Amino acid sequence: MIAEWLQTVPPLAVYLTVLGVVGIESFGIPLPGEVVLISATLMATRPELAVSAVWVALAALLGAVVGDSIGFAVGRRYGITLLHAAGRRFPRHFGPAHVDLAERAFARWGVATVIVGRFIAILRILAGPLAGALRMPYRKFMPANLVGGVLWTFGTTAAVYALGVAAETWLRRCSWVALAVAVVVGLVVGVLVKKRVIGLLTRPEEGAPAS
């Protein structure tokens, strides 16, 4: 539905939508930022739509950096109680298990969580507010925020654009079955990587006393 709507608006509206949705998600409100980014990037593979993949990536980057910075400021102002309050409003995204997972990530990886978190949905939403609530210095948060934003926005845009172009070529030369197999393999790899990351976060620290 999002992809269909984006195709009905001019390119400038597409860029503003990407900026707004990614920014609000980074601020800490659960929205499908990655879905919008992917949908807009796929539009860029169709010349008749006149959407630029570079401008899509830049819009997403601006939204990510500004949104995370606002989330950081709000988290710094209201502390961890803000996340508990958000958990009552959005239990699927800010429940105790999600906040605990994010806190484990910060405890284990520190500022690197801001970079890695860009690629994990729950951390993408929580990284800014939680970093502020945990009193991470902004001088450390901002560079990591920028690096993570660049890697996620331009990395995702480049990968999706390349896959979109390749998919069109495959459909001309191969079959739907071959394309479906490639998509399934990609999804399986993504799920395995996500499980591996979560496993690392939930595994007890070495040397920590057993409970």
For 15-72, what is each residue's pLDDT tens digit? 999 999 999 999 888 888 988 999 999 899 988 999 999 999 999 999 999 999 999 9
CA dihedral 83, 86, 88, 93 (to 10 degrees): -90
Contact 76, 133 (CB under 8 A): yes
CB atoms within 10 A of CB 21: 24
For 153-188, what is each residue's pLDDT tens digit? 999 999 889 887 766 655 555 555 554 555 565 566
Number of H helices, E strands in the chain: 11, 0
CA atoms of 82 and 125, how far apart (whole Å): 13
pLDDT for the residue 130:
85
- Angle between helix axes 33-44 and 121-133 (nearest 10 degrees) is 130
Residue with tokens 């896959």: 163
pLDDT for the residue 109:
80
pLDDT of 194 higher than 50:
yes
Write the CA distances from 118 to 1, 33, 61, 104, integer angstroms. Answer: 24, 11, 11, 16
Region 94-100: mean pLDDT is: 70
For 67-93, what is each residue's pLDDT tens digit? 999 999 998 988 777 777 766 776 666
For 119-143, what is each residue's pLDDT tens digit? 888 788 888 988 998 889 999 999 9
- What are the sequence ranges of the domains in the chain? 2-202
Residue with tokens 């991470």: 136
Return the structure tokens found at 126: 């929580």
Return the structure tokens found at 167: 């998919």
Higher pLDDT, 6 or 209: 6
